[in-house]
């Protein structure tokens, strides 16, 4: 069974997608809006392992790709690892959409979603004024990747479980840079509104731009 796009858009009309790259500011922005406007905050990253338990290798092969060692995971060719991560995110979208339909069933409750770059899906389930991409230059992503609190557990894992932590750290930063460039290209080509962060970006001015775009 395939659900028609107009049905999905109707079910998700009070859902707002803040998408983009790592270090683009999407998590900070989504949390800010959730507090300011009493919106339900949904982080796609937080639900991966729950979604994975309902997946299978036939229908979600990327989500179920086995890795035998931490070295294999953190030291894999950056282009291949980036493509695998992007494929996994795309496969997970079915689960995410089901979550959001449940959260959005109260028509008086707005939902703000912190998620990676999925313009091909957003075009099917949402509208221009419910999606914005917050992006960061790939070089900035590369430089700041491990400075974020949410990457501290990953860094500890690398230091403890890989045979060459320095190489694995460098390779992971390179993967993040490759992904960021791919996501930027997709976002720009999509026609959705894009907002770029640099080292001089003012958060409040950026928040005003997002609020104006969402008309909330």
Cα-trace Rg, the chain = 17
Report how far apart, in Å, the C-alpha atoms of 1 and of each of 4, 88, 117, 141 are.
Answer: 10, 22, 26, 39
pLDDT for 152 equals 94
State the chain's maximal CA–CA distance in angstroms: 52
Below-50 pLDDT ranges, the chain:
none
Whether pTM exceeds 0.75: yes
The tokens of 52 are what?
A: 């994975």
pLDDT for 198 equals 80
pLDDT for 159 equals 97
pLDDT for 1 equals 72
pLDDT for 200 equals 79
Domains of the chain: 8-214 (3.40.50)
């Amino acid at each position: 069974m395939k659900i028609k796009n107009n049905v999905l858009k109707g079910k998700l009309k009070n859902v707002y997608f803040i998408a983009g790259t790592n270090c683009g500011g999407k998590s900070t922005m989504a949390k800010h809006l959730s507090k300011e406007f009493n919106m339900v905050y949904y982080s796609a990253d937080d639900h991966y392992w729950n979604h994975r338990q309902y997946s299978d290798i036939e229908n979600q092969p990327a989500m179920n790709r086995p890795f035998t060692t931490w070295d294999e995971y953190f030291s894999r060719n950056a282009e291949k690892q980036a493509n695998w991560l992007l494929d996994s995110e795309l496969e997970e979208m079915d689960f995410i959409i089901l979550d959001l339909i449940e959260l959005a069933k109260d028509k008086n409750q707005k939902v703000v979603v912190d998620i990676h770059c999925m313009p091909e899906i957003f075009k099917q389930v949402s509208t221009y004024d419910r999606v914005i991409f917050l992006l960061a230059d790939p070089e900035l992503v590369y430089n700041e990747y491990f400075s974020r609190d949410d990457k501290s557990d990953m860094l500890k894992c690398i230091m403890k479980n890989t045979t060459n932590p320095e190489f694995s750290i460098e390779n992971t930063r390179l993967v993040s840079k490759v992904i960021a460039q791919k996501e930027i290209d997709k976002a720009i080509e999509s026609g959705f509104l894009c907002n770029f962060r640099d080292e001089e970006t003012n958060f409040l001015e950026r928040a005003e731009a997002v609020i104006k775009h969402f008309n909330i």
